[in-house]
């Protein structure tokens, strides 16, 4: 079915498709991830990258092992730097809003693992400016307030202030502006329009914004006064920024950023991506236990229509959102294997499987909200302005 058609100019990062659309602000239709990787020109994660990670750390994070993170740009050079003891940094971000869902936590969970394993700095950009400029219905004061709220969720994942450096665009612009104007001079309006799908009625603030998301990729090099490439763990929707960043990096004297891309966490009700427009498709970090339970119990499964048929023929975990969530929130391979096999054999009913998932997420969210509460006392220690003057 034709949902949208974008014209692709050959250098842009926006994905054109007859069946689906992926842009940094919009995902629609059934995403063909292999095709997307091809069209964006990113490499798939293969045994080569997996072995390189295992060689360095003795293990591979389950989000990579299970294929949620499936593509990259130049991951190997970053791993080689690690092996040689050369500096590199991690970079992530968030367009702050009230509806932070557990899908948003996925890249941060992997970043936490990288920080712990590789002992690297983690730069995190909260784009209150972007959210204000690109989305209708927000004041800048609101998006700024959400930046602080979302920062608490990030800190709650267990980062320490010596490693995590938080940048809030509207407040920490002095760190980015000199880089952004250099980036801005290298990008034509035509490139930015084609890459992000902007039109003549897009506000000029939104057209300048990409320079800021790109700038953070170059910031560690400025701060440390030496070449410090970044690795960016994110869902693949952010690739357009980093594709442009890579195009202009060397001309500006900066190292090209590397990236590692995940698929989207699907919506509980069958969508390819959790979506704010359907609140039941997503579990928000602020949802009550009751809401989480209701959403999980209403989730789409690969189960049979009746208990008898489920017992007789078994379910289809390969086409089950609930099973996918087990893969995301259960790090024990043994446990997910048992769920998979019991489902196929008809030993596990969908209601039981959903309750297991609910229990897992309930515990995660309870701990998360306690850690989030504690983060209120320490948030200032994570601000970039406290560490780099
Ligand atoms: P935002 O706020 O839209 O998304 C934040 C991060 O979450 C990822 N993401 C998802 N991952 C898995 N499943 C999903 N359903 C899902 N939805 C969103 C996004 O890919 C992103 O990594 N412009 C950015 C903010 C930003 C940024 C960055 C993001 C600034 N610098 C560097 C990544 C890396 C934004 O609005 O993200």
Cα of 238 from ligand 1 centre, angstroms: 7
**Ligand 1 neighbour 24 (Cβ under 6 A):** yes
pLDDT in tens, the chain (389 residues): 223 333 333 334 455 556 788 888 888 888 899 999 999 999 999 999 999 999 999 999 999 999 999 999 999 999 999 999 999 999 999 999 988 898 899 899 999 999 999 999 999 999 999 999 999 999 999 999 999 999 999 999 999 999 999 999 999 999 999 999 999 999 999 999 999 999 999 999 999 999 999 999 999 999 999 999 999 999 999 999 999 999 999 999 999 999 999 999 889 988 777 776 678 889 999 899 999 999 999 998 999 999 899 899 999 999 999 999 999 989 899 999 999 999 999 999 999 999 999 999 999 999 999 999 999 999 999 999 999 98
How does DSSP classify residue 121? Answer: E
**Ligand 1 neighbour 213 (Cβ under 6 A):** yes
**Ligand 1 neighbour 274 (Cβ under 6 A):** yes
Same fold across 32-263 and 279-362: no
Q: 334 Cβ partners below 8 Å, 6+ apart?
A: none
Q: Helix, strand, coil: what percent of the chain each, to 5?
A: 55, 10, 35
The token pair at 58 is 């003795």
**Ligand 1 neighbour 262 (Cβ under 6 A):** yes
Give this prediction's pTM: 0.94
The preferred substitution site among 90, 94, 128 for testing ligand 1, maximizing ligand atoms within 8 Å of CB, is 94
Give the chain's end-to-end CA distance (angstroms, integer).
53
**Ligand 1 neighbour 232 (Cβ under 6 A):** yes
C-alpha span between 81 and 114 (Å, rounded): 14
The confidence score (pLDDT) of residue 7 equals 35
**Ligand 1 neighbour 128 (Cβ under 6 A):** no
The preferred substitution site among 97, 104, 133, 143 for testing ligand 1, maximizing ligand atoms within 8 Å of CB, is 104
Q: Following DSSP, what letter does each residue of 207-267 receive, concatenated?
A: HHTHHHHHHHHHHHHHHHTS---EEEEEEGGGHHHHHHHHHHHGGGT-PPPEEEEEPPPPP
**Ligand 1 neighbour 103 (Cβ under 6 A):** yes
Cα of 234 from ligand 1 centre, angstroms: 6
**Ligand 1 neighbour 150 (Cβ under 6 A):** no
Cα of 368 from ligand 1 centre, angstroms: 19
Give the atom of ligand 1 at the shortest distance from the alpha carbon of 237: 20
Closest residue by Cα to atom 20, ligand 1, is 235
**Ligand 1 neighbour 264 (Cβ under 6 A):** yes
**Ligand 1 neighbour 271 (Cβ under 6 A):** no
Cα of 92 from ligand 1 centre, angstroms: 8
The preferred substitution site among 70, 107, 179, 219 for testing ligand 1, maximizing ligand atoms within 8 Å of CB, is 107
Give the atom of ligand 1 at the shortest distance from the alpha carbon of 264: 13
The confidence score (pLDDT) of residue 79 equals 98
**Ligand 1 neighbour 106 (Cβ under 6 A):** yes
**Ligand 1 neighbour 234 (Cβ under 6 A):** yes
Cα of 24 from ligand 1 centre, angstroms: 8
Give the atom of ligand 1 at the shortest distance from the alpha carbon of 265: 13
| Long-range contact set of residues 330-336: C-beta below 8 Å, sequence gap at least 24 | 330/360, 331/62, 333/62
Cα of 386 from ligand 1 centre, angstroms: 25
C-alpha span between 72 and 375 (Å, rounded): 32
| Domain boundaries defined on the chain | 32-263, 279-362
C-alpha span between 243 and 183 (Å, rounded): 13
Which CATH fold would you assign to the domain 279-362? Tyrosyl-Transfer RNA Synthetase (1.10.240)
- CA dihedral angle for residue 30, residue 9, residue 237, residue 18, rounded to 10 degrees: -10
C-alpha span between 158 and 372 (Å, rounded): 10
CB 388 within 8 A of CB 174: no
Closest residue by Cα to atom 7, ligand 1, is 104
> Would you say domain 32-263 falls under CATH 3.90.650.10?
no
Closest residue by Cα to atom 4, ligand 1, is 94
The confidence score (pLDDT) of residue 174 equals 98
């Amino acid at each position: 079915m034709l949902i949208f058609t974008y014209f692709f100019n050959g250098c842009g990062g926006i994905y054109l498709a007859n069946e689906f659309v992926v842009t940094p602000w919009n995902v629609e239709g059934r995403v063909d991830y292999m095709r997307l990787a091809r069209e964006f020109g990113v490499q798939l994660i293969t045994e080569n990258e997996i072995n390189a990670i295992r060689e360095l750390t003795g293990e591979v994070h389950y989000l990579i092992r299970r294929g949620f993170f499936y593509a990259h740009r130049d991951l190997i050079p970053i791993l080689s730097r690690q092996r040689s003891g050369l500096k590199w940094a991690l970079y992530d971000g968030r367009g702050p809003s009230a509806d932070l869902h557990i899908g948003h936590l996925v890249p941060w969970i992997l970043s936490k693992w990288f920080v712990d394993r590789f002992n690297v700095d983690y730069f995190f950009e909260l784009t209150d400016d972007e959210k204000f400029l690109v989305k209708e219905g927000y004041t800048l004061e609101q998006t700024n307030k959400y930046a602080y709220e979302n920062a608490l969720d990030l800190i709650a994942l267990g980062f320490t202030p010596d490693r995590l450096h938080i940048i809030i665009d509207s407040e920490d612009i002095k760190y980015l502006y000199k880089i952004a104007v250099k980036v801005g001079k290298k990008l034509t309006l035509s490139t930015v329009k084609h890459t992000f799908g902007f039109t003549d009625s897009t506000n000029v603030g939104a057209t300048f914004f990409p320079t800021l998301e790109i700038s953070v990729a170059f910031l560690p090099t400025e701060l440390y006064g030496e070449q410090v490439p970044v690795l960016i763990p994110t869902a693949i929707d952010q690739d357009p920024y980093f594709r442009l960043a890579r195009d202009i990096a060397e001309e500006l004297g900066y190292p090209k950023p590397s990236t590692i891309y995940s698929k989207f966490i699907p919506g509980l009700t069958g969508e390819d991506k959790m979506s704010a427009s359907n609140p039941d498709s997503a579990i928000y970090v602020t949802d009550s236990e009751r809401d989480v339970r209701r959403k999980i119990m209403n989730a789409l499964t690969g189960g049979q229509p009746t208990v008898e048929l489920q017992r007789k023929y078994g379910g289809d975990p390969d086409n089950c959102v609930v099973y996918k969530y087990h893969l995301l929130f259960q790090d024990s391979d043994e446990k997910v294997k048992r769920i998979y096999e019991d489902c196929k054999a008809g030993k596990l009913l969908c209601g039981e499987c959903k309750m297991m998932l609910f229990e897992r997420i309930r515990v995660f969210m309870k701990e998360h909200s306690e850690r989030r509460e504690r983060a209120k006392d320490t948030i200032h220690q994570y601000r970039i302005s406290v560490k780099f003057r």
